[in-house]
Structure 1
C-alpha cells in the first residue's frame, strides 16, 4: 500500500470505531440512475474525500503527544541485605568481651565450630591465651598470664603456633590447644616482612603434623611438630604460602611499597606440583587479590580462570580484600542514603548485613571491625564480641 492508502485505511477504521451498533438490520438503499452531472461529480467526490481523510489524519497525528525522549537508566540503589544472623544462623556468635579476672579478650580464630581461641590483654599487651566454648559458655586458660609474648595465632592438628622474637631471630612456639607449657619449636633465620601481616599469623600454618611458613624472601619451609631442623620444600623457592598447600608469586606487598598489579598470578600446589595460572576476564588487566579460586578487583570478582565475572552488590574501597578465600566486605546504602557494612560470599552470592552506621553525630558506634584467620569480629557498645565464622 501507498502512504495515502495506509492513512485512509487507518482513518476509516477510526471512524468506524465511533459508530454505535444497535444490532438492527437495515435495508440497503436502491441504486439511483446516474446523470451526467453525477458522472462528473464522482471523481471529484473521491478526490475531496481523500483530501478530507488526509486532513483528518494530519490533525489526529498532530494531536497525539510525541514519544518521550529516551532516558538513560540510572543504577538502582540496593536496599540493605538481610542481617547476617539470618543469612548464616549457624555461623554468627555473641561472646563475652572479658575473661575470668577481667582481662580483655581478643578472639583470634575458631579451633572448631564451637571453640574460639584468643588473647588475654593486660595493659594493652598480649600476655595469655584462652579458649571459649560457645556451647557451655565457659573460658579455659591455655597459656597463663605473662606466659605469651608472640604474635597472631595459627591452629591445626590440635596445636596452636605463633611467631615470637628472641635473640634477634624469629622463633616459632607451639602449645596444645587443650593447654600446657608453651614450647619453642625453632629459631629460624630469614627476615619477616609486612607480607605476613597481610596473610595473618606471619604466613604460618599447621598441617600434616608440621609447621609450615614463608619468610620474607620467599620459599615454603616445613618443621615437624615433634621438632627438628626446618627444611625448604622442593620447588618452592621464591613462592609465598597462600593457603596450604598452595603457594604463589608474585606476592602482594601492599603494606610495603606500591601494590603489585597482578599478585599471586601463578599458584603451585607444593604437595602435587599442580600449577594454576590466573586469567583476567575481557577488559580487565589487573586485580587486587587472587586466591586459590577467586580474584577480586574493587567491587568486581571472577574465578581464577577468568570466568563467572560479576559486580558485587555494594561499594568498597579502592582496593578490596578476600577473606577465607571467598568473602569480601562491602558497604551498602538504602534509598534514603543510610549506610551499612555487609559481608558477601562469592561462592553462593549471599550477602549478610553486619551493622548499620550511626545516623547521628555522637551516637555510640561499632568500636572495631577486624578480619583474621577466617573470622570477622566486631563489637558493640555493650562490650560483647560478635563473631562470624567464615569457614563455617
Structure 2
C-alpha cells in the first residue's frame, strides 16, 4: 500500500489487545465497547454463548450472562450494538427441527442480568444473502431497535420490549437516522426531512447527513481515488484509495480499498462496512488523514475474515482481528480517536 503510514502509528491511542480466553470461560472475541475501558466479549459460535465484560485497565473480567438453554440448538452472535443501558444483538438461531437458521434480535442490560428475545429479523427479499446477520448494522434509538442492510435496502424498527418490526424506509444509512438514496437525496427516516446532494462530484455517491463519498472515473495507468466532500460540493478532498460504495461511517470515517493503478489486474474489493479485508485504508475526515490497516499477526483462523467490524457505545465502531501468535485479539477503537463531533 504505497505512501500510507500504518494506522497504529497514526492513532496509537486507539489500539489495544484483549485475551482470547479466560480461565473460567470458553474462547471469546471482542464485540463492542461498553465504555472507554470496558469491552464486551462473547463466544459467538457455541450452543449457549456467554457474554463477558472485560476491563482492559485492570485485566479483570466478569460474566454478564449466558444464553438460555431453551433458546435454540445453537445461537451464533453475528452483530451487536450498545447503548448506555442495553446490549442488543442479531443472532443466527437454529432450532433442532429446522435445517436453516433464522435471524433473531436479543437484548440484555449492559450491567448483566436477564437475557430475552425481542423479535425476528425477516430477510429483505430484494437483497441476496439476507440471512447473514453480519450484513446488517443496528442501533438503539431511544426505546427502539433499528436495523438495516449495510449494502442499502429496507430499514426496520421494533420496540426494545418486543413486538412486530415496522418498515421505516430504505436507503444507504451512515449516521442514524439519515439514509441516502444513491442519487441526490438524503432523508431523515424519523422526521421525513430531506436534504439535497445534487452538487456532489464523482460516480455513484453515498451520503450521510452532511458528507458524501464518491468514486473517481479513471483511465488505464491512473491511481484509484475517492472524493470526500460536503453535500453542496464544498470542502472537497481527493483521497487515494478504491471506493467501496459505502458512505462515511458516522459522517466521519471512510473505509477504502488500497489505491491501485488501473489495469494492473487486481480487482476492486466488494468488502462491506461489516467486514474489511487486510490492507484496508482508513480515512478520518476530521483530520483529513489516511492510514493503512495492516494486521501484523496475521495468521487468522482458516475461514475467518482478517478484520471484522464490531459495535460501539459512542461515535465509532471497534475493529478487531486475531493474533494467533500471541493468543489474543488486536483491537482498534475508532471512538478513541480525538476529534469526535468535529
Q: Which TM-score tier does this pair reach, normalised by the shorter chain?
A: 0.5 to 0.7
| Larger RCO (CA within 8 A; separation ≥ 6) | 2
Alpha-carbon spacing, 1:312–1:383, altered in 2? closer, same or farther (3 Å): farther
8 A contact 2:29–2:43 mirrored in 1? yes
Q: CA-to-partner distance for each residue in 1:164-201, whole Å, 9 max, x for gaps?
A: 44788643211112212311123465647458699957
Alpha-carbon spacing, 1:178–1:195, altered in 2? closer, same or farther (3 Å): farther
SS in 2 for 1:391: helix
Name 1:212's counterpart in structure 2: 146
Q: CA-to-partner distance for each residue in 1:282-331, whole Å, 9 max, x for gaps?
A: 5x3324x4434231425312223333332324x44x63654454232454
Name 1:390's counterpart in structure 2: 334
- Check if 1:88 corresponds to 2:19: no
Alpha-carbon spacing, 1:366–1:108, altered in 2? closer, same or farther (3 Å): same
Q: 1:94 Cα deviation (Å)?
A: 1.6
8 A contact 2:45–2:76 mirrored in 1? no
Q: 1:127 Cα deviation (Å)?
A: 2.4
Provide structure 2 residue ranges, at least 5 long, that are not aligned to the other structure: 70-74, 96-100, 216-223, 261-277, 301-305, 312-316, 337-342
Match among 236, 244, 257 for residue 319 of structure 1: 244
Alpha-carbon spacing, 1:309–1:101, altered in 2? closer, same or farther (3 Å): same
- Check if 1:343 corresponds to 2:282: yes
8 A contact 1:99–1:120 mirrored in 2? no
Match among 57, 70, 78 for residue 151 of structure 1: 78
Match among 11, 26, 31 for residue 103 of structure 1: 26
- Check if 1:270 corresponds to 2:196: no
Provide structure 1 residue ranges, at least 5 long, that are not aligned to the other structure: 1-76, 250-262, 334-338, 358-363
- Check if 1:113 corresponds to 2:36: yes
Alpha-carbon spacing, 1:184–1:102, altered in 2? closer, same or farther (3 Å): closer
SS in 2 for 1:347: coil
Name 2:227's counterpart in structure 1: 301
Name 2:208's counterpart in structure 1: 291
Report the Cα distance in structure 2 between the residues aligned to 1:195 and 1:158, rounded to whole angstroms: 31
- Check if 1:225 corresponds to 2:150: no
TM-score between the two structures when normalised by the length of structure 2: 0.66
Alpha-carbon spacing, 1:194–1:159, altered in 2? closer, same or farther (3 Å): farther
8 A contact 2:152–2:173 mirrored in 1? no
Report the Cα distance in structure 1 between the residues aligned to 2:121 and 2:295, rounded to whole angstroms: 45
8 A contact 2:28–2:41 mirrored in 1? yes
Match among 163, 167, 177 for residue 245 of structure 1: 177
Report the Cα distance in structure 1 between the residues aligned to 2:310 and 2:128, rounded to whole angstroms: 15
Alpha-carbon spacing, 1:156–1:384, altered in 2? closer, same or farther (3 Å): same
Name 1:378's counterpart in structure 2: 321
CA RMSD of aligned residues (A): 3.9
8 A contact 2:309–2:319 mirrored in 1? yes
- Check if 1:142 corresponds to 2:43: no
Q: 1:122 Cα deviation (Å)?
A: 5.5
Q: CA-to-partner distance for each residue in 1:239-267, whole Å, 9 max, x for gaps?
A: 56543222343xxxxxxxxxxxxx36532
TM-score between the two structures when normalised by the length of structure 1: 0.59
Report the Cα distance in structure 1 between the residues aligned to 2:196 and 2:331, rounded to whole angstroms: 34
Report the Cα distance in structure 2 between the residues aligned to 1:197 and 1:190, rounded to whole angstroms: 6
Match among 72, 89, 97 for residue 162 of structure 1: 89
Name 1:176's counterpart in structure 2: 109
Structure having the larger proportion of residues in strand? 2
Name 1:127's counterpart in structure 2: 49
Report the Cα distance in structure 2 between the residues aligned to 1:188 and 1:342, rounded to whole angstroms: 32
Structure having the larger proportion of residues in helix? 1
Higher-Rg structure is 1
8 A contact 2:319–2:333 mirrored in 1? yes
